[in-house]
Structure 1
């Protein structure tokens, strides 16, 4: 009498086999995702070191073809994280103590071109009088505030996630000396 061999499921897997395979593949994908998240994700705000913007300003002012604006000092807990200068443009990026960003741009271009470049998607939101100067105010995506004005072919633009009060206080701190 011939002996019969146990049934094999190689050609026709059972539902249990399918579920175990999906669980193993899902676990592998989860492990790869977690590994990438832990070892290959960085928090830009934490990896960019503060800079001494006053030194950059000191070097840039004599070479600037316009009156370069910069804060006389930053409030406690605020940090400058980026500063770039060329004879046609100046940028200073600052984080407040609450993590809001304030970007100062001065560029030799029209207000419209500066808004297109640095405040895309913003909409007019009136004007503001800060230290005797009138600024055009724009509201941007994600609650951003943009303050902009043009003087003698140079546009100054402030783009920030901070409150209007904080932005206006920052603007008041700007000086050309």
Structure 2
């Protein structure tokens, strides 16, 4: 009579040396993972997440404009703006290959959006198009009695352009129209008080917005 009892399973036997090497590999992998995590945490700690306030600087735009006036040949606009606005840079850019020198200020609005103000007395159509991201003219906005040419396109910044005598002022950014109007009104107020060759020779656009 045959014995039908089940054969006990054979347990694999790992040599001591192989087991030691396997354990060493696992420990090494864990140490490598912990080292990577430590490096990442250190980088995050040294480079905190950027917030809008990170970009807020205490730039005295009026003072910088005063220093730039002699070089520019005119007093650059530096409008007084409501509480909550700030400038994160203000500079005079000498003429490059395009021959256009310009006043350049970056404003952070009270709503934590951004608008750049650029002003030049040597502007040309090519420079203006480049500063407005080659956006088409889509209308005008009348702000404090001055007609600003509106240029915008889908999925891009919008711009307001004012030709004041021989000076061109461009506002460009992703802010709301309300913030654009605030900055444009501040610039217009300064021009009305005796800015660069007062005038209102802005080109009329197609449709108002």
For the aligned pair, the TM-score class normalised by the smaller chain equals 0.7 to 0.9
1:114 alignment partner, one of 125, 128, 141? 128
Counterpart of 2:67 in structure 1 is 59
| Structure with higher strand content | 1
Counterpart of 2:170 in structure 1 is 157
Paired residue total: 170
List per-residue Cα deviations over 1:82-125 (Å, max 9, x = no partner).
11125631012221222111210013222432331x33374544
Q: Secondary structure at the match of 2:39?
A: helix
Counterpart of 1:32 in structure 2 is 39
5+ long unaligned stretches in structure 2: 1-13, 95-100, 195-209
What is the 5 A alignment of 1:15-164? 21-41=28-48, 43=50, 45-46=53-54, 49-66=57-74, 68-71=76-79, 73-85=80-92, 88-107=101-120, 108-116=122-130, 118-120=131-133, 122-139=135-152, 144-151=157-164, 154-164=167-177
Bigger CA radius of gyration: 2
- Given that residues 140 and 147 in structure 2 are in contact (C-alpha distance below 8 angstroms), is that contact kept between their aligned partners in structure 1? yes
5+ long unaligned stretches in structure 1: none
Q: For 2:153 and 2:24, how far apart are their aligned partners in 1?
A: 54
- Given that residues 119 and 159 in structure 1 are in contact (C-alpha distance below 8 angstroms), is that contact kept between their aligned partners in structure 2? yes
